[in-house]
Amino acid sequence: MDAEAQESFREFVANRSSALLKTAVLLSGGDRHAGEDLLQNALIKAAGRWHRIDEPEAYVRQVLYRQQVSRWRLKWPRRELSVAEPPETGTDPDTSGAAELRLVMRGALARLTARQRTVLVLRYFEDLPEGEVAGILGCSVGTVRSATHRSLARLRALAPELAVLGPAADEQRPSRDYSPVEVRQ
């Protein structure tokens, strides 16, 4: 856009943006923030085609209408919920333990080989079943199992502090209460 077109666009925005904003707010159901977003997107589209637009206000209004109709057609409307106060984070305001755990985990993962890291990320971060991991890596399910076992062992060896920072081992595993079976004679 040349200097003359830029000045013309700035003039248009300065003179007509308040009226266009009112239209955008009404189109978005009275939500001022959604209206501002709608108008900003319409003005961005207009700026890109400014030198070809004959009637700028009609063009911007048409873009506003079409964008709002596109928003209505979304299968799941993307709306933000505005609240007066931020939601409560949790019962423990001290999150330094979680941050320390993330830092230790990141450092330990960085010290693993690429294959070990990949297996652990696919299995535990992406939560993929062993069969899918095997398909992605091009190996057998047994290879994924053994690689996962070895990777976890190496991770524990590289960062024994993870056991101290994380939840207790008893809390991670389901409790197995094996009662002795009575033998009848």
Query: pTM score > 0.85 for this model?
Result: no
Radius of gyration of the chain (CA): 29
- Lowest model confidence (mean pLDDT) among 15-24, 42-51, 94-103, 126-135: 94-103
Listing DSSP states for 40-74 in one string gives: HHHHHHHHHTGGG-SSHHHHHHHHHHHHHHHHHT-
Per-residue CA distances from 41 to 38, 45, 64, 170 (Å):
5, 6, 8, 53
**How far is residue 117's CA from residue 111's CA, in Å, rounded to a whole number?**
9
For residue 176, what pLDDT is reported? 41
For residue 59, what pLDDT is reported? 92
Percent of the chain with pLDDT over 70: 77
For residue 93, what pLDDT is reported? 61
The Cβ-side half-sphere exposure at 1, using a 13 Å CA radius, reads: 16
For residue 86, what pLDDT is reported? 72
For residue 36, what pLDDT is reported? 93
167 has a pLDDT exceeding 80: no
- The answer for residues whose C-beta is within 8 angstroms of residue 127's C-beta and 6 or more apart is none
For residue 99, what pLDDT is reported? 79
Mean pLDDT of 95-99: 73
Mean per-residue pLDDT of the chain: 79
